[in-house]
Amino acid sequence: MIQLQNLHKEYRAGKHSIPALTGINMNIEKGEIFGVIGHSGAGKSTLIRCINLLERPTSGKVIVDGVDLTSLDARSLQEQRRYMGMIFQHFNLLSSATVAENVAFPLELAKRPKVEIRRKVNELLALVGLEAHQDKYPAQLSGGQKQRVGIARALANDPKVLLCDEATSALDPQTTNSILTLLLDINKKLHITIVLITHEMHVIRSICDRVGVIDGGKIVEMGKVADVFLKPQHSTTREFIEQVADFADLQEAVVREKSAEQRTIVRITFLGEQTYQPILFQTMKETDVPFSILQGTISRMKDTPYGQLVAELEGDESRVENAVKMLRLHGLDVEVIEWAG
């Protein structure tokens, strides 16, 4: 659905050029939710604005549904943008227009018939749960309600792509979860491709299929959320994982147990249905290796359950090695943090 090919973006500051994006290559599949995560200033907002050419790349191609946007004239580009909705961090609503009028605005610009506009507005307000608020003004709405209006407005022209520019960062955690649930529901009902940028790993973990990690204007890691989340390769990725992983005191646990003899500390990752199976207990019983759990968490990534445990295994090295081997044969990912001795 979306292809970014060797994308570069530079800004001019007098005689100097400041690189914002460098060599971005990315393929986003039709119907998936793709997340881009990065720190402030990493280039993520520039990246998403390059997709609909609100920011024109210095070089490279942006291809959406087979159309090279970078080759279009202004009129043709404007026509293609109708098929790409966008929602913003600060909502960007018309303060003097009602909820219904805000949603109707892009349809009026497209010169749709009034009967069609009214039908579409009612349909979208029902989709985002704001039927009872159609005559209110933005100042009368909560932050979450304003974002729902923004989502409805972005969907007005039946876009193929929905771009979300920090859509939840101005919201409290409970409201953020409700907006993420709504976006997931929209993705499933309308089969729309969603690209969202964020600095919150919770957002990526909750609804995304794949993720790209951006740092210094470059994509430093990309893949399925489960792979990136459970086996981060880049230091920036690991920083974001720490936002949601309950292992802040891991180093303390390692230091505390390091002096003990005949003990090994491992991190065990469960994914899918194995998360709820007693694999650890059964394996340790079969191999006669006593264990204790130092830390652990069970959660979900979109629709997939996962768990991570930090456990202390007792016994000599050969017995522990056998236990680790058995765990891996059961399909678990086992990382040895500290071997005995």
- pLDDT tens readout for residues 65-119: 999 999 999 999 988 998 999 998 888 999 999 999 999 999 999 899 999 999 9
DSSP at 71: G
Domain boundary pick from 221, 243, 265: 243
Judgement on whether residues 177 and 268 belong to the same structural domain of the protein: no
Average pLDDT of 295-302?
A: 81
- Which 8-state DSSP code applies to residue 156? T
Residue 90 φ/ψ, nearest 5 degrees: -110, 25
Structural domain boundaries, residue 225: 2-243
Q: Is pLDDT of 294 > 90?
A: no
pTM for the complete prediction?
0.83
Q: Which of 169-173, 196-200, 238-242 has the highest mean pLDDT?
A: 196-200
Mean pLDDT of the chain: 89
Task: Check whether residue 129 and residue 223 sit in a common domain.
Answer: yes
Kindly state whether residues 186 and 41 are assigned to the same domain.
Answer: yes
Task: Work out the number of other CB atoms within 10 angstroms of the CB of residue 303.
Answer: 8
Residue-level pLDDT at 322:
92
Q: What percent of the chain has pLDDT over 70?
A: 93
Bridge partners of residue 313, in order along the sequence: 264, 291
- Do 226 and 323 belong together in one domain? no
pLDDT at 241: 84
- Tens of pLDDT along 15-64? 888 999 999 999 999 999 999 999 999 999 999 999 999 999 999 999 99
Of 72, 4, 84, which is closest to residue 43 (Cα–Cα)? 4
Q: Verify that 207 and 61 share a domain, yes or no.
A: yes
Strand blocks (E) in the chain: 2-13, 16-28, 33-37, 59-64, 67-68, 84-88, 161-165, 193-198, 210-215, 218-224, 263-271, 291-301, 304-314, 333-338
Residue 116 and residue 239: Cα distance in Å, rounded? 48
Last residue of a domain, one of 243, 272, 305: 243
Q: Shortest CA distance to 173 belongs to which of 149, 214, 206, 219?
A: 206
Which one, of 135, 123, 130, 126, lies nearest residue 97 by Cα?
Answer: 135
Burial class from Cβ neighbours inside 10 Å (0-12, 13-18, 19+) for residue 40 reads exposed
Both 255 and 238 in one domain: the answer is no
Residue 66 has φ and ψ, to the nearest 5°, of: 85, -5
User: Would you say residue 14 has pLDDT above 60?
Assistant: yes
* 174: CATH: 3.40.50.300
- pLDDT range class, residue 184, cuts 50, 70, 90: very high
Give the tens place of pLDDT for each residue, 245-287: 654 445 555 555 554 556 788 888 888 888 888 898 899 999 9
**Separation CA 221–CA 218 (nearest Å):** 9
Shared-domain flag, residues 80 and 222: yes
Is the domain of 80 the same as that of 196?
yes
Neighbouring-strand partners of residue 196:
35, 164
Give residue for tokens 């059961």: 330
Domain boundary among 243, 266, 295: 243
Average pLDDT over residues 136-161: 95
What CATH number corresponds to the domain at position 317?
3.30.70.260
Same domain flag for 170 and 56: yes
Tell me what pLDDT residue 259 has.
47
Name the domain count of the chain.
Answer: 2
Regarding whether 274 and 221 lie in a shared domain, the answer is no
222 and 258 both lie in a single domain: no
Q: Which of 159-163, 231-235, 300-304 has the lowest mean pLDDT?
A: 300-304
Please give the average per-residue pLDDT across 326-335, as a whole number.
90
Do the beta carbons of residue 125 and residue 161 sit within 8 Å?
no
| Separation of alpha carbons 260 and 160, rounded Å | 59
Residues 174 and 262 placed together within one structural domain of the fold: no
